[in-house]
Amino acid sequence: MLELVVDNPYTLDVAVRRPLAESGEVDRALGAARAAARAFAAAAVKDRVALCLAAVSRMEERAEAIAADITAMMGKPLRQARGEVGGMAKRARYMASIAEAALVDTALPPQEGFERRITRAPLGVVFNLPAWNYPLLTAVNVVIPAVLAGNAVILKHSPRSPLCGEHFADALRDAGAPAGLVQALHCDHEMAGKIMVDPRVDHVAFTGSVAGGHKVYAQTAAARFIDVGLELGGKDAAYVAADADLEKAIENIVDGACYNAGQSCCAVERAYVHRSLYEKFVEGCVALMKAYRMGDPTAAETNMGPIAQPHHPAFIQGQIDRAVLAGARVVLGGKRTQVDGRGRFFEPTVLVDVDQRMDVMRTETFGPVLPILPVDSDEQAVALANDSDLGLTASIWTRDRERAERLARQLDVGTVYMNQCDTLDPALPWTGVKDSGKGSTLSALGFLHLTRPRALNFKL
């Protein structure tokens, strides 16, 4: 039997072992999901809401164990992992609070002798493939809204964070979900590909890399006329305008670059700073990033954990080395490292003398690296921010509300922030443009991708 083995990125010991599902187990899971979806579609929305809220409460009761699993599997500092449990619950409760209004029938104006309505029908079975970097948040964006909309879910979590899929399935089962409604499967890429094109699957939702998203979309679309939701990478830009509150900009942009060791799709990966503030901005970023404490992610004083994936420190190092060869200068960090001989870490890094052609300015880094480039105008900043194949978020740092509004309309991204970054509001759709994704999750709009319109045209 093939086995999934996950190492602890700090101790490098084995954190998790799980058998990989074989074809018979997958077939049974798909059959159970299809049967559960047919039955659950008839459940009242208020009953689906009650089920999801009960499941969230059960996950909160197990918060310490869930957080410990996250830390062991992907290295997130334990206090941040605890925060992720709370963030997951907040998102789930918000989506539950709007479900009835978002899924209500739309009645059309009266027409003599006819009744016309548009209903939102569940899709059926949703195959969800979340990411490891925020293993609860990337999963809850799909799992809870899918169930609220009346669907069944097969949850194949990232091979870096398999236990998080089990936690969702266990919580929903213990909350009273019908058998087969939400199931966790551990399988390899080949088996996942077979599930995506199985006729019993009605929607695929993938969170991960751009390359992975292209493969998922191409494989599914080649065989099926079903929707594929993609939440992919970012190369998110921050623009610090001449009138910005510099201290707040530095504090938040550094956090946006370094939180979760930079392993976030909406991390700040490029900073464009008005030339009048550039030197002070660089100095401030260096001072703050020097204070980060790498180390044991279970220790209270650690605020930067290890890099989760074994191959990735070398990737980050390669980006920086190529930038230096092309003329960039490292003013802080710049090296993969260990702490007391343990783990796989990357130093918080500040790069200057960068230019837009460098790989570190164009390709997602997914590490605690902040390249900083001076600009002379709003127009130059917008042009550089848009000069990317990715378009997830961008942030504008200014005291001028009208300037932010004007620039926001010019930025080719899914979310524009003013005086904040690397955050998410479940009342707003989470969506990307260009190679950052397809479709949207969260908000009332998120339900549109997990249901289909059904027209009712009754002649009375």
Answer for the pair 13, 7: CB distance below 8 angstroms, yes or no: yes
Q: How far apart are CA 209 and CA 215, in angstroms?
A: 10
| SS3 category, 204 | strand
Q: How far apart are CA 77 and CA 67, in angstroms?
A: 9
**DSSP classification of residue 450:** G
Q: How many CB atoms lie within 10 A of CB 151?
A: 28
**Residue 245 one-letter amino acid:** D
Chain mean position to CA 217: 17
Quote helix, strand, coil % in the chain, to nearest 5: 40, 25, 35
Answer for the pair 136, 66: CB distance below 8 angstroms, yes or no: yes
Q: Which two tokens stand for residue 6?
A: 């996950």
Q: How far apart are CA 271 and CA 291, in angstroms?
A: 20
Residues 6+ apart with CB under 8 A from 292: 258, 303, 304, 348, 368
**Catalytic annotation on 231?**
yes
Which of 231, 269, 347, 364 does the annotation list as catalytic?
231
How distant, in Å, are the alpha carbons of 274, 275, 324, 419 from that of 278?
6, 5, 20, 17
- Which residues are known catalytic residues? 231
